[in-house]
Chains A and B, each alone.
Chain A
């Protein structure tokens, strides 16, 4: 199952389509639906924003608690993933403010990724994911968020700018430099690993 394929369908809520109903009382069924459908998206978004694997469960918990409390604010005529990304971005920002969570990884100190001959495609994709993760670690959160939201999630730049609270031009500028930095990091990592 691809968490990011956007194909998830569930009652009334879809990340690309408006939500039909807005339960307003009781244990909101839409919350559970959002949780079930978007847990993987939230999980991997937090990871892409630099949350360490061992902290993903805690941060995911925090995010859904916050989502539940703000569910009434969600505009059900809009896509849900950009809205969820806003939570993830703020959580990741708070998380990274703590010194022990900061991962400022100079390129020269990155460990090489062995992306060489793999036993099977699954292993190769695991290598690719690892490589991208290491490359993303070279970005500050602002660039990283734009890159993840635009190039990984496929959001439009106006949506990115709205969710992150930045000017459109700033978004494009960050995306351009993020792409350059990621590309450079990938090349550096591959070179250090001695593989294509």
Chain B
């Protein structure tokens, strides 16, 4: 069968499609909020261990569709970030910094924050009430986007049909240390924050929350007045994570924005 052999669309259906194409653009507030959430998620590093190294759709012919790209619903911290972002949305605090504490029955909206280093620091997960979970966060803890025409991979690809993986204790331990660091920062205790991130670096030198850790460390060093060390650490961060969404925030923090 070819296009010529298909019955053409009726004018009635064409009119409906034309109306649908004329849909309104996404509201500016949603546009900004969604971009901010994307930045938060990416700043937190690969989700659920990532699968970027998985399939090789890029080797395929033509315009290969995305292969095995992970979603923000994948795993631990990213999921939490989504929860926090949704909590903000539900509390009418669109655009608020994610660093702020989220508590049940938040009495007042959180003040909007500029997109700075603080805005990529997730809220401690222990503060998120379970009844604030959006439908999204009940997705399987690892959801993978696999293109329909992706080549088979030697790596297993999780799907929504598979059993939910066991709790990731390493990730939980990583997260706990970073929560401790953030709480210390919130209390003005930069030394405590540095201690926590150093313990994280020691225990998880190749941890999944490495970017998150480094961002906190740089913040803590700046707060402690150790700007030179902060700059050096930021430089290493840029070398190690040249595509990190946190780079503009780090530049802002250090006053090195171009």
Chain A residues with a Cβ under 8 A of chain B: 1-5, 25-28, 32, 35-36, 39-40, 43-44, 48, 54-55, 57-70, 72-75, 77-79, 82-83, 86-87, 89-91, 94, 97-98, 100-101, 124-125, 128-129, 131-133, 135, 151-152, 157, 162-166, 169, 172-173, 175-176, 179, 182-183, 186
Q: In the complex the two chains form, is B35's CB within 8 Å of A35's CB?
A: yes
**Residue of B5, B35, B147 with most chain A CB atoms under a 10 A cut-off:** B147
Q: In the complex the two chains form, is A165's CB within 8 Å of B16's CB?
A: no
Q: In the complex the two chains form, is B21's CB within 8 Å of A152's CB?
A: yes
Residues of B near A151 (CB, < 8 A) are: 9, 13, 17
Q: Which of B21, B134, B143 contacts A94 (CB 8 A)?
A: B143
B42 within 8 A of A: yes
B20 within 8 A of A: yes
B163 within 8 A of A: no
Q: List 30 A-B contacts (CB under 8 A).
A: A1-B24, A2-B22, A2-B23, A5-B21, A26-B243, A26-B247, A27-B248, A40-B26, A48-B20, A57-B34, A60-B26, A61-B72, A63-B71, A66-B69, A69-B52, A72-B58, A79-B63, A83-B65, A86-B147, A90-B146, A94-B159, A98-B138, A128-B19, A129-B19, A129-B23, A132-B19, A151-B17, A157-B3, A163-B148, A186-B12
Q: Which of A48, A60, A87 contacts B69 (CB 8 A)?
A: A87
Q: With A4-B23, A44-B23 in contact, is A58–B86 under 8 Å at CB?
A: yes
Q: In the complex the two chains form, is A179's CB within 8 Å of B136's CB?
A: no
A176 to B6 CA separation, bound complex (whole angstroms): 7
Residues of B near A94 (CB, < 8 A) are: 71, 139, 143, 145, 159-160
A100 to B64 CA separation, bound complex (whole angstroms): 31
Residues of A near B50 (CB, < 8 A) are: 69
Minimal beta-carbon separation of B151 from chain A (angstroms): 10
Count B interface residues, CB 8 Å.
73
A3 to B13 CA separation, bound complex (whole angstroms): 19
A163 to B244 CA separation, bound complex (whole angstroms): 29
Minimal beta-carbon separation of A144 from chain B (angstroms): 13
Q: In the complex the two chains form, is A57's CB within 8 Å of B135's CB?
A: no
Q: Which of B37, B62, B145, B242 contacts A26 (CB 8 A)?
A: B242
Q: CB within 8 Å of A: which of B69-116?
A: 69-73, 78, 82, 85-86, 89
Q: In the complex the two chains form, is A55's CB within 8 Å of B38's CB?
A: no
A69 to B136 CA separation, bound complex (whole angstroms): 20
Q: In the complex the two chains form, is A176's CB within 8 Å of B1's CB?
A: yes
Q: In the complex the two chains form, is A75's CB within 8 Å of B12's CB?
A: no
Residues of B near A65 (CB, < 8 A) are: 38, 41-42, 47, 70-72, 78
Chain B residues with a Cβ under 8 A of chain A: 1-3, 5-7, 9-10, 12-13, 15-17, 19-26, 30-31, 33-35, 37-38, 41-42, 46-47, 50, 52, 57-58, 62-67, 69-73, 78, 82, 85-86, 89, 134-136, 138-139, 143, 145-150, 159-161, 242-245, 247-248
A67 to B71 CA separation, bound complex (whole angstroms): 9
A125 to B3 CA separation, bound complex (whole angstroms): 28
Nearest B residue to A72 via CB reads B58
Nearest B residue to A150 via CB reads B3
A92 to B218 CA separation, bound complex (whole angstroms): 38
Minimal beta-carbon separation of B27 from chain A (angstroms): 10
Residues of B near A67 (CB, < 8 A) are: 66, 69
Q: In the complex the two chains form, is B2's CB within 8 Å of A100's CB?
A: no
Q: Which of A3, A90, A165 contacts B23 (CB 8 A)?
A: A3
Q: In the complex the two chains form, is A61's CB within 8 Å of B243's CB?
A: no
Q: Which of A62, A70, A169 contacts B67 (CB 8 A)?
A: A70
Q: In the complex the two chains form, is B34's CB within 8 Å of A60's CB?
A: yes
Residues of B near A79 (CB, < 8 A) are: 63
Minimal beta-carbon separation of B243 from chain A (angstroms): 7
Residues of B near A77 (CB, < 8 A) are: 63
Q: In the complex the two chains form, is B71's CB within 8 Å of A73's CB?
A: no
Q: A70-B52, A128-B16, A129-B20 are in contact. List 12 more A-B contacts (CB 8 A).
A: A1-B25, A5-B21, A26-B242, A39-B31, A54-B135, A69-B50, A70-B67, A129-B23, A163-B65, A164-B148, A186-B12, A186-B13
